[in-house]
Amino acid sequence: KNQVEQSPQSLIILEGKNCTLQCNYTVSPFSNLRWYKQDTGRGPVSLTIMTFSENTKSNGRYTATLDADTKQSSLHITASQLSDSASYICVVSDRGSTLGRLYFGRGTQLTVWP
């Protein structure tokens, strides 16, 4: 069964600290892996998209890694800010159709305290 599992479910860190969020997936075949940031009551916003051949991609203070062999990804946030408080969603796309079906994780709820 194609699944995307994220950990931890929630995380609280102090402003300025770093953190790493995890994503494990069983989706096959694999096309790409995406990380989204979703503020409360808003739609998700794309942070990174990685294909099979990419093992790291950065977007400002966000760095995503991908290990397609172990089917694991991580999102590292450096020097956290209060505005980083949000849900971070891992999404994996398969190559089963022209649409490229998307499998969503439940997200990691990050809270940054001052």
Q: Determine the interface stretch with other proteins among 11-19, 21-29, 68-76, 91-99 (rule: CB under 8 A).
A: 91-99
Between the alpha carbon of residue 62 and those of residues 17, 27, 38, 91, 101, the distances in Å are: 13, 24, 14, 16, 25
Residue 89 engages other proteins in binding (rule: CB under 8 A)? yes
Give the nearer residue to other proteins in terms of CB position, either 70 or 97: 97
Measured CA to CA, the distance from residue 69 to residue 72 in angstroms comes to 8
Residue 85 engages other proteins in binding (rule: CB under 8 A)? no
Q: Is 74 left (phi over 0), alpha (psi -120 to 50) or beta?
A: beta
Cβ-contact 23, 33 below 8 angstroms: yes
Give the nearer residue to other proteins in terms of CB position, either 13 or 102: 102
Per-residue string for binding with other proteins, 31-70, x by CB under 8 A? xx-x------xxxxxx--x-x-------------------
